[in-house]
Amino acid sequence: MSTRPLLLALAGLGTAGWLAAAALAQSPAAAPAPAAAFAPVAASATRSAAKPPFLLPPVSGEALAHTCAGCHGTQGRLGDEAFVPLAGMPAAPFVQTMQDFRSGRRPSTLMGHITKGLNDAELQAMAAYFERQTPAPKSSAALNPLRPGVTR
């Protein structure tokens, strides 16, 4: 019951929320990380395995975006759900939110872990993809005829 306001806040992150986050993104602290941060997490992941840091080849924003679809909807298009729809989200707040998940500045369940696999260039590429997508109608019943009924 006490989770409801937070859920609503997340699910209801509409344009206003995006704009607020965009304002945050313009603060000096949110300046883009230097190119040296290209594969920061990959490097830290291998440290325990005593391997030298490696540089991974770039991945397209679209390919990255499709990994989000299991929760955030195909092409980021999601109706009324607990997860934030990503289609049509302006790029700046998307990147800012993901960076805040990664740094722990924004609390999360699993997004903190997921974002540790994504560098800034990849976040920018994903953001550009999602910004281009048309948002879904509010009602996901209209978007998706398929609603597996979970009775509880």
> Which residues make up the interface to other proteins (CB under 8 A)?
2-3, 6-7, 41-42, 44-46, 48, 54, 56-60, 63-64, 66-75, 78, 81-83, 107-110, 112-118, 140, 144-152
Compute the least distance from the CB of residue 130 to other proteins, in Å.
15
Tell me how far apart the alpha carbons of residues 151 and 128 are, in angstroms, rounded to a whole number: 38
Compute the least distance from the CB of residue 91 to other proteins, in Å.
19
Task: Pick the closer one to other proteins by CB: 28 or 57.
Answer: 57
Compute the least distance from the CB of residue 10 to other proteins, in Å.
9
Tell me how far apart the alpha carbons of residues 17 and 5 are, in angstroms, rounded to a whole number: 15
Task: Pick the closer one to other proteins by CB: 9 or 23.
Answer: 9
Tell me how far apart the alpha carbons of residues 129 and 133 are, in angstroms, rounded to a whole number: 7
Task: Pick the closer one to other proteins by CB: 22 or 114.
Answer: 114
Compute the least distance from the CB of residue 20 to other proteins, in Å.
21
C-alpha pair distances (Å), 124 with each of 12, 61, 73: 23, 8, 19
Supply the DSSP symbol for 133.
S
Compute the least distance from the CB of residue 147 to other proteins, in Å.
7
Closest Cα to residue 33, out of 120, 128, 140?
120
Q: Name residues whose C-beta falls within 8 Å of residue 25's C-beta, 6 or more positions apart in sequence.
A: 92, 93, 95, 96
Task: Pick the closer one to other proteins by CB: 35 or 55.
Answer: 55
Task: Pick the closer one to other proteins by CB: 76 or 93.
Answer: 76
Supply the DSSP symbol for 107.
-
